[in-house]
Structure formats: C-alpha cells, structure tokens
Amino acid sequence: MLLGKSRLEADAARLAALQALERRSMGCIACRLRPGCTGVVVAEGNPAARLVIVGEGPGREEDRVGRPFVGEGGALLDRILASAGIGRDEAYLTNTVRCRPPADRPPRPDEIGTCTALWLDAQLALLRPRVILSLGNTATQHLLRTRRGVASLRGQWFGLNYDAAPGEAEQALLMPMFHPAYLLRNPARTPGTPKALTWRDIREVAAVLHGEKQPEHVAQLVPLDMDGQPGLF
C-alpha cells in the first residue's frame, strides 16, 4: 500500500515536471529557427502513454495551428496507428525540433543538437516510454546516434537507454519507421513499397506495445564515430 502511494506520488511529480518543461519550451528562443516560425510546437497526447512518437519538426500546418502531426501527414499517421489498433490517445507525440524550419528544409545538426539537449532528451526521461517510434531520418538518426537512413533501419528493434533519474538508466524499445510525409509522396501499396513495409512495422509495434509478443531481436548500432568505417585498417 505504501509502495503504491509512493509510486503515485512519483508519477504525479513526473507529470508536473513534464508540464513545467512543456511550458518553459513554449518560450524557447535558443536557435535560429524560432524567428522564422509562428510558435513553438511542443507536443500532444497522453503523458502516461507507453508509446512516444518522435517526428522531425513542425510543417506548415503544425506551425499554423500549434499542434504536432496535423494536416495530411497527421491524418495518415492516425490511419496507420488505427490500422494496428493503436489509438492516438495511447501515444504522446512530439518532434526532434519544435520550430518549423524555413521552407520546410531538414533541421541542421546544430539546431537538432540545441533543441534535443534542451527539450527532447529531458522529455523522454520524464515520459519513461516503453516503446518509441522514430519517424523519418532526422528523429532516427538523432535518437540512435547514427548516420544511417531510416530505409535501412526500419522494421528493427533497437534498445535506447535514457536517464530516468540520476544514476538510474532505463531502456525503451525503439522502432524506426518511414515518416508519414514520405508515405504521402510514395502512395503505392504493392509488396515491398514503403507503405506495405510500414503496415508490417506498425503491426509489430502494436503486438509488442500491447504485450502480445516480445521482440525477437533487439539490435545494437556501432557508435556514430565508427559508423560507416568498418575495416578501416
């Protein structure tokens, strides 16, 4: 009983800390992306969710309404999740950077480094997700500290360590998947196409998320500074 009460208190403290972090990030002006956008798009969804979805950054529609994953891409993401029985309310959605890059260019490494060090890394530590979906190259490359693209990493489970509390590391299961914006540009559904592969990936994610199976294999990547240099000598 005491254990249950202290757990509830810890969860309440984590939620309060997450909400405070979200509020602080609304006023962020730490990188060059902020002057060119309408506002900081922080996150949306269930902070108690076991699933966290990380995209690249806000696009035109997200910037306009101040919410992540809206517009055509957001609607497609909803359909992808629903196709595997995952409700949007089962997830917490956020992005690697929180301000829309000019002309929707990919965020630059220094922008990603600044934004994630300030916000995403701390957010994940407070959320303590069981499963993370990294959508597209930017989120996948940042979270897995790799230069490899999502096309070669999708469909595999990776272990992602994060600091849940000082001196207390936890591990989430991370699955890279194609970004909905990419799928909108590649609408074919025949076997082997990005959409068909995503259908396979999201069913695997749902099965693990809902406790119907364990990942058969959790892959490890070589560190970034060795990536792409096998057999250097």
- Residue 34 within binding range of ligand SF4, rule CB under 6 A: yes
- Residue 25 within binding range of ligand SF4, rule CB under 6 A: yes
- The count of chain residues that interact with ligand SF4, using the rule CB under 6 A, is 15
Work out which of 30, 151, 184, 207 binds ligand SF4, going by CB under 6 A. Answer: 30
Inter-CA distances, 155 with 29, 41, 196, 230, Å? 36, 28, 11, 23
Of 62 and 111, nearer to ligand SF4 (C-beta) is: 111
The dihedral built from the CA positions of residue 152, 73, 68 and 100, taken in this order, carries a sign that is positive
Kindly write out the interface string for residues 48-87 of this chain, putting x where it contacts ligand SF4 by CB under 6 A and - elsewhere. ----------------------------------------
Work out which of 99, 122, 150, 205 binds ligand SF4, going by CB under 6 A. Answer: 99
Kindly write out the interface string for residues 172-191 of this chain, putting x where it contacts ligand SF4 by CB under 6 A and - elsewhere. --------------------
Give the SS3 label for residue 172: strand
Estimate the share of the chain in helix, then strand, then coil, as percent rounded to the nearest 5: 45, 15, 35
* Least distance in angstroms from the C-beta of 121 to ligand SF4: 12
In whole angstroms, what is the distance from residue 188 CA to residue 195 CA?
Answer: 7
Work out which of 97, 126, 127, 150 binds ligand SF4, going by CB under 6 A. Answer: 97
The interface region with ligand SF4, picked from 91-99, 162-170, 188-196, 207-215 by CB under 6 A, is 91-99
CB 180 within 8 Å of CB 193: no
Could you tell me the two tokens for 228? 């792409």
Of 36 and 149, nearer to ligand SF4 (C-beta) is: 36
Work out which of 50, 98, 179, 195 binds ligand SF4, going by CB under 6 A. Answer: 98
* Least distance in angstroms from the C-beta of 13 to ligand SF4: 24
Could you tell me the two tokens for 148? 């490899």
Inter-CA distances, 7 with 13, 45, 153, 161, 168, Å? 10, 22, 36, 22, 16
- Residue 122 within binding range of ligand SF4, rule CB under 6 A: no
Give me the residues that bind ligand SF4 (CB under 6 A), please: 25, 28-31, 33-34, 40, 97-99, 111, 114-115, 118
